[in-house]
Amino acid sequence: MAEKSWLTDVPQLDRETLLSIRQTLDEAYRGFSRAYGETIESWFDPILAFLVWFEKLLLATPWWLVILILAGISHFAARSWRLTIGVVISFILIGYFGMWENTMQTLSIITVCTLLAIALGIPTGIAMARSDRVQTIVTPILDVMQTMPAFVYLIPVVMLLGIGKIPGLIAVVIYAIPPVIRLTNLGIRLVDKEVLEAADAYGVTPTQRLFNIQLPLAMPNIMAGVNQTIMMALAMVVIASMIGVKGLGQPVLKSITNQYFTLGLFNGLAIVALAIVFDRVSQAYAKRSQQHIGSRQ
């Protein structure tokens, strides 16, 4: 006689009760989406307008001027001719292989997502660093955001807002924002206590201490968080293409469904090129800022 499995001893809801709970929650969320979906979507109209304008600007600007601007930004941030030349060569190859339009669309949404993540993430990280209670509340939320499978983000967003740029942007920001929050909090908390005590002895205000001492000293950690946020946003591009976000992710998705190896490889390499450019430039800028702070001290 077969032994009774220990799993049968685990208390479980019966199938009908579990199905009833799922249906109730699904209907409640559908009702919420029907009642408030349009109102919530209207909140994002300014961001959508800026995203569409920025995308059109990149597509309308001559390719050589875009490359020149990107090279200038890279050289200003890194002060490295080798990196600047690498940026120029990367974007010339992207254009040469016919991926310029998709790359500009990806660049636009990654830029907007990164700016939005920084605008929301750094103040949240500051609040966590200044209050243990806020850190206790926010940390579990960040844990859920970082461990939840990326595809799960798409379900409530699509149910609420449908298909388009804004749902994709929201999903990318939710997926990519935790590193900048965590590292901003960590960087401020790691500031030397003796430096803060000396500042207090000179009678600086909390605002002056934050902006003149804590944030500058925490800048390497904050820039590392921005770097990781950009990397995670780029990783989300292919998944976001499933809900209508145009760019390099859509050809990759098409290559998966139709088994086009070369199409997927080239567009995947373009995403890698963008990731390397963003990574090297942000790291070089963080290193320069740290050296500048060290020289001031």
Residue 16 lies inside a defined structural domain of this protein = no
Residue 74 lies inside a defined structural domain of this protein = yes
Residue 35 lies inside a defined structural domain of this protein = no
Residue 111 lies inside a defined structural domain of this protein = yes
Residue 97 lies inside a defined structural domain of this protein = yes
C-alpha span between 38 and 297 (Å, rounded): 52
pLDDT band at 281 (very low <50, low <70, confident <90, very high): confident
Q: What is the CATH number of the domain that holds 206?
A: 1.10.3720.10
C-alpha span between 79 and 292 (Å, rounded): 13
Domain that holds residue 245: 43-296
Contact 114, 233 (CB under 8 A): yes
What lies within 8 Å, CB to CB, of 160 at 6+ separation is 32, 33, 37, 40, 167
The domain tally of the chain equals 1
Residue 187 lies inside a defined structural domain of this protein = yes
pLDDT band at 1 (very low <50, low <70, confident <90, very high): very low
pLDDT in tens, 91-128: 999 999 989 999 999 999 989 999 999 999 999 999 99
User: Considering the entire predicted model, what is its pTM?
Assistant: 0.84
Residue 175 lies inside a defined structural domain of this protein = yes
pLDDT band at 61 (very low <50, low <70, confident <90, very high): very high
Residue 1 lies inside a defined structural domain of this protein = no
